[in-house]
Chain A
Amino acid sequence: MADKSFFIDTTRCTACRGCQVACKQWNKLPATKTFNWGSYQNPADLSFSTFKVVRFREVISGGKLRWYFFPDQCRHCLEPPCKDTAEGFVDGAVVQDDATGAVIYTGKTRMLSSSAFEEVRQSCPYNIPRQDPATGLVAKCTMCFDRISNGMEPACVKACPTGTMNFGNRDDMLAMGNNRVAALKKKGFKKAQLLDADSIRAVFLVVDDPSIYYKFSVAQNDVGISRKLALRKLMKPATGLITGVAKL
């Protein structure tokens, strides 16, 4: 039974970026060359070598200066559109673990052409997948599958000093999130809310309009299961047939 989830409480996040560095350390990801671009946010975006990035956003909201931190990562959708899309091209490029629900990109992603990858990326409602231009491999957060399969927390959760990053059974995480929303509402945070909690396994809590934090903090309407994807899903057996015919 797929029952694991993250609960990510942005109200506790101090943007220390322990999660970002711990992710790189555990997954043996190299540093990328960065420049200060007028922001603390660095690397500026996710990449093939960066599965987790803390996004910084400063804004006047409700008449007050706010500095919001959003530790972005793959949401591990309950029904991942990237998997459906990738399957349209290469079987087994993206798999979903039955026990945890982790959405995992495999070595077969190498077989995705750049246009196929672009479709996979566009199908992600959260703009997560990134391709290595050198090898063609596509990568993102693995839910630290190797750790959680051995009874350990994901590296980002282990490193978090404030209780922002939480991981556990989905029911427990949703209960923790709902309790926190209730407590924050009581404290006066009227917009306290969980983001897309019903459809993903990395559930963020925010206290302002989600789009202020980051464009892709919630699923974007123009991506996800698009008409194009729906068509491709329909076409899939036919594609296989055509390939089969060609081989004959």
Chain B
Amino acid sequence: MTNHWIDIGNSDCILVMGSNAAENHPISMKWVMKAMDNGATLLSVDPRFTRTSAKADFYTALRSGTDIAFLGGMINYIFQNKLYNQEYVAYYTNASFILGKKFGFKDGLFSGYNKKTRSYDKSYWAFEKDKNGVSKRDLSLKNSRCVFQQLKKHFSRYNLDKVSSITGTPKADLVKVYKTYAASGKTGKAATIMYAMGWTQHTVGVQNIRTMAMIQLLLGNMGVAGGGVNALRGESNVQGSTDHCLLWHIWPGYLKTARASNTSLDVYNKKWTPTTNDPLSANWWGNYPKYSVSFLKSMFGENATPFNGFGYDWMPKVDDGKPYSWLNLFDAMYQGEFTGFFAWGQNPACSGANANKNREAFTKLDWMVNVNLFENETGSFWRGPGMDPKKIKTEVFFLPCAASVEKEGSITNSGRWSQWRYKAADPPGDAKPDGDIMVELMDKIRKLYQASGGAFPEPVLNLKWDYTTNGKFDSHKVAKEINGYFLADVTVKGKDFKAGTLVPSFAFLQADGTTSSGNWLYCHSYTEKGNMAARRSTVDKSGIGLYSEWSWCWPVNRRIIYNRASVDRYGKPWDKEHPVISWNGSKWVGDVPDGGWPPMLTADGKLNPKTKYPFIMKPEGHAHVFGPGRADGPFPEHYEPLECPIEKNLMSGQFVNPTIKEFDTAADARATCDPRYPIVASTYRVTEHWQTGVMTRWQDWLLESQPQSFCEMSEQLAKLKGVKNGDGVIVESARGKVEAVAIVTKRFQPFKIAGTTIHQVGLPWCFGWVTPKDGGDSSNLLTPSIGDPNTLIPETKAFMVNVRKA
């Protein structure tokens, strides 16, 4: 979230699309209701009428996988009716930037496309530069080569007829949503988006979210209270785990994982530190070496010195151009490239797309360590459906672990709040906190390396490894290391600091080895003032629900990021009723500002030479309505899902995302426009179960309220298939099949797509064969292992199936 949960209550219009907040984020509805009590409108756009839709002022449906067409139509509507915030767009976004001559777009492809590699040469998308190397701009937005005009042209193709024909949404409904939402372009109004996996899990997932981010920028909704782009995270701590580099391509704090071609720390820092020639751009990432070196000091402590590149050589490197994402790892495992696998706090036998492929992949392993609270389909795969235990070599070790309430530590919620939690009870039996399991494991590994050496012992033996107290994992020691220490007596920004004290904020981190920080973004979270995440003040001085002294939020306790864009160029809030920050003539008051520089104009309307552009994390200081960093194009474009029900893309000759790369194992069958699989399907969660249900399916009361897998379908489809409400059905895709109970409902309606009737069904993925015995299995047995080209998140929200009576 750019904003936070409570802030939803400040909104004038809430669009829930690509998520189902009422069912999957129940507490969020408290703030949605608060906004509605104050007169806000709730819009629900979903292929299926959900418990969220039931509360909405207006609901309409779209076919799964057509969100860019739907939102592209909104961008077109905003341009046609001039509903954008002109000043915001011209001065705070890159809409004014002039595109180079090489940029172009034709029939679904941007310039620079290489058919053979299925990738773009992004140099084709560069801006024109002036003699100082600064991008040329036309602040009147009239130049035909400026982003604004190109954007307008690009989305002019998304007219109501075309959008309706792709999405299946009636034209009147499209206009209703567009008009209601775009009313927030008016100064002082704010609209917000609540999205989740319904947007991300597509081959165009990143561009789905980009389209919405662009709408928010055009309407001036970024940085303001009640606005923003808000991802509803699916786990209480998924934000925290991402911040601390759960994913392969990043180090903590969104630093880059080292590539093989980054042969030294200097090469690495040079490669990933952006530069700017524009004196008005803060280019915050210009501080990159301070964060990377401080991170290495946290990793290797005293062993990291200027003479060994602070231990950079001990960090693992990935091959250039090669992805190591979930889908790639399971593909490699399926092809026998792994000997061992830690399935830690996860259940890929049910949670991963194309689950049959994952289950088969486990049989190729020599060993698996399964750390979980309960027995699950992953650890017990060898006795699952279709498996013959006698023929499986994999040795499985099950380690019981503590539940969240049985250990102390922090969780970071969707709103970026790091909240300290205390231990409520001891874990049962032999179960241990994850931290203790890791410490014991690493202690053993280090002893083995000490005793018998190994191929490359330095990273293991040089590790700074002092996170225990009385032999037990100490979460406070880790939290302090994440914040970081001064490692020498130093003077920074005119202040003296003693070695061994905690760094007050990342502005004080150094690139010379005199500071450490396990995650620069969290530097400010545990300081000499104490554990900021443990704060519990319920006083709200802001008047807009920031509650700045309740827990702590990154970065530097800034509750609404990009808040420098919440004000006009004089520093006056766009929304006088909900000011996030404002300039009092000498300083900012309100939330922690996105940089303390003065606003762009002085009181007499002159450019303030001391100012910086508001979007400080971008090298050129401007938000990207043109995004030249994406794998699949600088503007979003509608492409059909990998599996879809129509024979051509109505927008262009380019059928699917031109930059996706398919896997080619026997388990990766696909069927598009195939009469055997004529029905669009999607997967989802339910309120009553948590993820794959590993925890909740063992919980009697929750199982009682949602006992068995189901397949929701329209009354029309049910009639066609001879299925009655409550009948058992079999749902099949090119990759697998599941049994489920039919819920025949008015909440699904057939779509009119390009003149033909298309049906859609949906199933939850929270069930599994281990328990309950009559609950059915995960709907991920049906989903394809195809990923978005930017993130490789799988396309589990739009694929093709058939349904028949069991």
Residues in B657-674 with C-beta less than 8 Å from chain A? none
Known: A58-B747, A67-B747, A69-B54. A161 touches B27 (CB 8 A): yes
* Contact partners of A21 in chain B: CB under 8 A: 701-702, 705
Q: Is there contact, CB below 8 Å, between A38 and B743?
A: yes
Q: Is there contact, CB below 8 Å, between A15 and B705?
A: no
Residues in B717-742 with C-beta less than 8 Å from chain A? 725-727, 741-742
Q: Out of B30, B52, B707, B744, which one reaches A35, CB within 8 Å?
A: B707
* Contact partners of B23 in chain A: CB under 8 A: 14, 16
Query: Which chain B residue has the least Cβ–Cβ distance from A50?
Result: B704
Report the bound CA distance from A89 to B337 in whole Å.
76
Q: Is there contact, CB below 8 Å, between B744 and A67?
A: no
Tell whether A65 is near chain B: CB-to-CB under 8 Å: yes
Interface string of A147-164 (1 = CB under 8 A from B): 000000000000001110
Closest Cβ–Cβ distance, residue A72 to chain B (whole Å): 14
Tell whether A241 is near chain B: CB-to-CB under 8 Å: no
Query: Which chain A residue has the least Cβ–Cβ distance from B708?
Result: A36
Report the bound CA distance from A34 to B704 in whole Å.
6
Query: Which chain B residue has the least Cβ–Cβ distance from A188?
Result: B57
* Contact partners of A215 in chain B: CB under 8 A: none
Tell whether B507 is near chain A: CB-to-CB under 8 Å: no
Among A14, A32, A38, A58, find the residue whose CB has the most chain B CB atoms closer than 10 A: A14
Interface size in chain A (residues, C-beta < 8 A): 35
Q: Is there contact, CB below 8 Å, between B706 and A14?
A: no
Q: Out of B26, B725, B746, which one reaches A161, CB within 8 Å?
A: B26
Q: Is there contact, CB below 8 Å, between B705 and A36?
A: no
Report the bound CA distance from A39 to B27 in whole Å.
23
Q: Is there contact, CB below 8 Å, between A31 and B704?
A: yes
Query: Which chain A residue has the least Cβ–Cβ distance from B725?
Result: A38
* Contact partners of B727 in chain A: CB under 8 A: 38
Q: Is there contact, CB below 8 Å, between B743 and A16?
A: no
Report the bound CA distance from A12 to B32 in whole Å.
10
Query: Which chain B residue has the least Cβ–Cβ distance from A12?
Result: B33
* Contact partners of A37 in chain B: CB under 8 A: 726, 741
Query: Which chain B residue has the least Cβ–Cβ distance from A18?
Result: B26
Q: Out of A16, A32, A66, A183, which one reaches B687, CB within 8 Å?
A: A16
Tell whether B700 is near chain A: CB-to-CB under 8 Å: yes
Interface of B is mostly: mixed
Interface string of A5-48 (1 = CB under 8 A from B): 00000011011111011001100001111111111101100000
* Contact partners of B27 in chain A: CB under 8 A: 161
Interface string of A84-98 (1 = CB under 8 A from B): 000000000000000
Tell whether B804 is near chain A: CB-to-CB under 8 Å: no
Tell whether B22 is near chain A: CB-to-CB under 8 Å: yes
* Contact partners of B703 in chain A: CB under 8 A: 31
Closest Cβ–Cβ distance, residue A52 to chain B (whole Å): 11
Interface of A is mostly: loop
Known: A65-B49, A67-B49. A38 touches B742 (CB 8 A): yes
Tell whether A248 is near chain B: CB-to-CB under 8 Å: no
How many inter-chain residue pairs (CB < 8 Å) link A and B? 98
Report the bound CA distance from A65 to B714 in whole Å.
13
Report the bound CA distance from A35 to B30 in whole Å.
30
Q: Is there contact, CB below 8 Å, between B687 and A39?
A: no
* Contact partners of B52 in chain A: CB under 8 A: 14
Among B688, B705, B710, find the residue whose CB has the most chain A CB atoms closer than 10 A: B705
Report the bound CA distance from A60 to B677 in whole Å.
31
Q: Out of A42, A67, A183, which one reaches B704, CB within 8 Å?
A: A42
Query: Which chain B residue has the least Cβ–Cβ distance from A30?
Result: B700
* Contact partners of A32 in chain B: CB under 8 A: 704
Residues in B1-48 with C-beta less than 8 Å from chain A? 22-23, 26-27, 29-30, 33, 37
Tell whether B51 is near chain A: CB-to-CB under 8 Å: yes
Report the bound CA distance from A14 to B745 in whole Å.
18
Tell whether B53 is near chain A: CB-to-CB under 8 Å: yes
Interface string of B486-520 (1 = CB under 8 A from A): 00000000000000000000000000000000000
Closest Cβ–Cβ distance, residue B727 to chain A (whole Å): 8
Report the bound CA distance from A43 to B399 in whole Å.
35
Closest Cβ–Cβ distance, residue A60 to chain B (whole Å): 7
Tell whether B55 is near chain A: CB-to-CB under 8 Å: yes
Residues in A47-71 with C-beta less than 8 Å from chain B? 58, 60, 65-69
Closest Cβ–Cβ distance, residue A210 to chain B (whole Å): 17
Q: Out of B51, B59, B725, B746, which one reaches A60, CB within 8 Å?
A: B746
* Contact partners of A60 in chain B: CB under 8 A: 746
* Contact partners of A38 in chain B: CB under 8 A: 725-727, 741-744
* Contact partners of B706 in chain A: CB under 8 A: 36, 40, 42
Q: Out of B22, B705, B745, which one reaches A42, CB within 8 Å?
A: B705
Q: Is there contact, CB below 8 Å, between A16 and B49?
A: no
Interface string of B754-784 (1 = CB under 8 A from A): 0000000000000000000010000000000
Q: Is there contact, CB below 8 Å, between B30 and A162?
A: yes
Residues in A173-226 with C-beta less than 8 Å from chain B? 183
Q: Is there contact, CB below 8 Å, between A35 and B708?
A: yes
* Contact partners of B687 in chain A: CB under 8 A: 15-17
Query: Which chain A residue has the least Cβ–Cβ distance from B743?
Result: A38
* Contact partners of B705 in chain A: CB under 8 A: 17, 20-21, 34, 42-43
Q: Is there contact, CB below 8 Å, between A58 and B745?
A: yes
Interface string of B685-709 (1 = CB under 8 A from A): 0011000000000001111111111
Q: Is there contact, CB below 8 Å, between B26 and A31?
A: no
Q: Is there contact, CB below 8 Å, between A34 and B707?
A: yes
Report the bound CA distance from A65 to B743 in whole Å.
16
Report the bound CA distance from A33 to B703 in whole Å.
9
Q: Is there contact, CB below 8 Å, between A39 and B743?
A: yes
Report the bound CA distance from A37 to B55 in whole Å.
24
Report the bound CA distance from A68 to B33 in whole Å.
16
Closest Cβ–Cβ distance, residue B580 to chain A (whole Å): 26
Query: Which chain B residue has the least Cβ–Cβ distance from A15?
Result: B51
* Contact partners of A40 in chain B: CB under 8 A: 706, 743
Interface string of B517-546 (1 = CB under 8 A from A): 000000000000000000000000000000
Query: Which chain B residue has the least Cβ–Cβ distance from A14?
Result: B22
* Contact partners of A35 in chain B: CB under 8 A: 707-708, 741, 774
Q: Out of B51, B742, B774, which one reaches A67, CB within 8 Å?
A: B51
Q: Is there contact, CB below 8 Å, between B29 and A162?
A: yes
Closest Cβ–Cβ distance, residue A187 to chain B (whole Å): 9
Query: Which chain B residue has the least Cβ–Cβ distance from A25?
Result: B701
Report the bound CA distance from A58 to B744 in whole Å.
11
Q: Out of A20, A42, A67, which one reaches B707, CB within 8 Å?
A: A42
Query: Which chain A residue has the least Cβ–Cβ distance from B58?
Result: A64
Q: Is there contact, CB below 8 Å, between A67 and B26?
A: no
Report the bound CA distance from A115 to B5 in whole Å.
53
Closest Cβ–Cβ distance, residue B49 to chain A (whole Å): 6
Closest Cβ–Cβ distance, residue B134 to chain A (whole Å): 50
Report the bound CA distance from A98 to B727 in whole Å.
50
Report the bound CA distance from A37 to B706 in whole Å.
10
Report the bound CA distance from A237 to B52 in whole Å.
55
Among A20, A58, A67, A68, find the residue whose CB has the most chain B CB atoms closer than 10 A: A67
* Contact partners of B700 in chain A: CB under 8 A: 30-31
Report the bound CA distance from A38 to B706 in whole Å.
11
Among A17, A33, A40, A60, find the residue whose CB has the most chain B CB atoms closer than 10 A: A40
Closest Cβ–Cβ distance, residue B53 to chain A (whole Å): 7
Report the bound CA distance from A239 to B703 in whole Å.
47
A selection of 22 A-B contacts at a CB cut-off of 8 Å is: A14-B26, A14-B29, A16-B23, A17-B687, A21-B701, A31-B704, A34-B705, A34-B707, A35-B707, A35-B774, A36-B707, A38-B726, A38-B742, A38-B744, A42-B706, A43-B704, A67-B51, A67-B53, A161-B27, A162-B26, A163-B33, A183-B37
Q: Which residues of B contact A (CB under 8 A)?
A: 22-23, 26-27, 29-30, 33, 37, 49, 51-55, 59, 687-688, 700-710, 725-727, 741-747, 774
Q: Which 10 pairs from chain A and chain B are nearest by CB? A: A38-B726, A31-B700, A38-B725, A31-B704, A67-B54, A14-B22, A36-B741, A36-B708, A16-B26, A34-B707
Instruction: Name 13 extra pairs, CB < 8 A, besides A12-B55, A21-B705, A31-B704.
Output: A12-B33, A15-B54, A21-B702, A34-B707, A36-B743, A43-B705, A65-B747, A67-B49, A69-B54, A161-B29, A161-B30, A163-B30, A163-B33
